[in-house]
């Protein structure tokens, strides 16, 4: 109870921080793959899995310890659903790294620069969602209204803009792959198309987190 009595948002912010750290590891993970350093990539995969387990433990802690009788300006069910949506980001990062290691097929050299920018832009959406969650303390203090509410809503709208960017980058990467796919085994090509899609799912999921916050604020 003491965990939530100080601020019901602190455990949520701690969970969001761990999820963000988990997803950030995808950058050095893919950089190791570009170098074809599969031992380093495997170590990063293990780090991603460890962070995902820690995020999972924090999610369970919130579910088990969030008191039913605690008066909150936000609905308890909304808060728990937000944690669930946030946790999926860490799951996706773990899945992406696991599948890449399982197949041990890299990203074609001519696609690497654009692919890394795509990964980083998808991570921008996760950082933005985390910033919104960090800002919710201030929102709580102002009673979920006024200038602070407007600021948070603007930050959530920015998530839509980032997600639009990743959509465009995804289209560009698919076109790049289409021009060189005849060089590769068809199964490897299909795998690469799926990897491009999975990275885009990170931005889609971060946008869903923003939508959950938006809905939560509309009800408060």
Would you place residue 216 in the very low, low, confident or very high pLDDT band (cuts 50, 70, 90)?
Answer: confident
Packing angle, helices 109-141 and 146-180, rounded to 10: 170
Inter-residue long-range contacts of 205-209, CB under 8 Å, 24+ positions, other chains counted: 205/85, 205/88, 205/89, 205/92, 206/89, 206/122, 206/125, 206/126, 206/128, 206/129, 206/159, 206/162, 206/163, 207/125, 207/159, 207/160, 207/162, 207/163, 208/85, 209/82, 209/85, 209/86, 209/89, 209/129
Token duo for residue 38: 């599969």
Q: For the residues 199-218, what does the mean pLDDT come to? A: 92
State the pLDDT at residue 15: 96
- Look at 74 and 27; give whichever has higher pLDDT: 27
Residue with tokens 């509410």: 149
State the pLDDT at residue 110: 96
34-68 per-position pLDDT tens digit: 999 999 999 999 999 999 999 999 999 988 877 66
- Look at 28 and 1; give whichever has higher pLDDT: 28
Token duo for residue 48: 């991603």
128-185 per-position pLDDT tens digit: 999 999 988 777 777 667 787 888 889 999 999 999 999 999 999 999 999 999 999 9
- Look at 70 and 107; give whichever has higher pLDDT: 107
Distances (CA, A) of 20 to 51, 73, 75, 106, 198: 9, 25, 24, 24, 17
91-105 per-position pLDDT tens digit: 999 999 999 999 999
| b/e burial code for range 129-159 (CB count within 10 A of at least 16 → b) | bbebbebbeebbeeebeeebbeebbebbebb
Sign for the pseudo-dihedral over CA of 77, 78, 83, 86: positive
State the pLDDT at residue 1: 41
Q: How far apart are CA 218 and CA 25, in angstroms?
A: 33
Would you place residue 210 in the very low, low, confident or very high pLDDT band (cuts 50, 70, 90)?
Answer: very high
**Residue 36, exposed/middle/buried by CB under 10 A (0-12, 13-18, 19+)?**
exposed
Q: How far apart are CA 48 and CA 26, in angstroms?
A: 8
19-39 per-position pLDDT tens digit: 999 999 999 999 999 999 999
Would you place residue 3 in the very low, low, confident or very high pLDDT band (cuts 50, 70, 90)?
Answer: very low
pLDDT above 60 for 2: no
């Amino acid at each position: 109870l003491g965990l939530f009595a100080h601020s019901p948002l602190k455990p949520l912010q701690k969970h969001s921080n761990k999820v963000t750290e988990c997803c950030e590891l995808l950058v050095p993970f893919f950089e190791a793959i570009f170098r074809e350093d599969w031992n380093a990539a495997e170590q990063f995969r293990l780090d991603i899995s460890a962070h995902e387990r820690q995020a999972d433990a924090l999610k369970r802690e919130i579910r088990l310890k969030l008191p039913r009788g605690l008066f909150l300006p936000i609905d308890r069910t909304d808060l728990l659903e937000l944690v669930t949506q946030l946790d999926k980001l860490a799951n996706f990062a773990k899945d992406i790294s696991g599948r890449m290691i399982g197949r041990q097929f890299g990203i074609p050299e001519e696609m690497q620069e654009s692919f890394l920018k795509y990964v980083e832009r998808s991570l921008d959406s996760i950082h933005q969602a985390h910033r919104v969650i960090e800002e919710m303390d201030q929102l709580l203090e102002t009673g979920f209204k006024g200038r602070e509410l407007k600021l948070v809503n603007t930050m959530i709208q920015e998530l839509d803009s980032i997600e639009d960017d990743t959509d465009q980058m995804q289209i560009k990467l698919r076109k790049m792959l289409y021009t060189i796919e005849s060089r590769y085994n068809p199964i490897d090509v299909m795998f690469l198309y799926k990897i491009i899609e999975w990275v885009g799912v990170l931005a889609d999921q971060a946008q869903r987190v923003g939508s959950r916050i938006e809905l939560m604020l509309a009800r408060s």
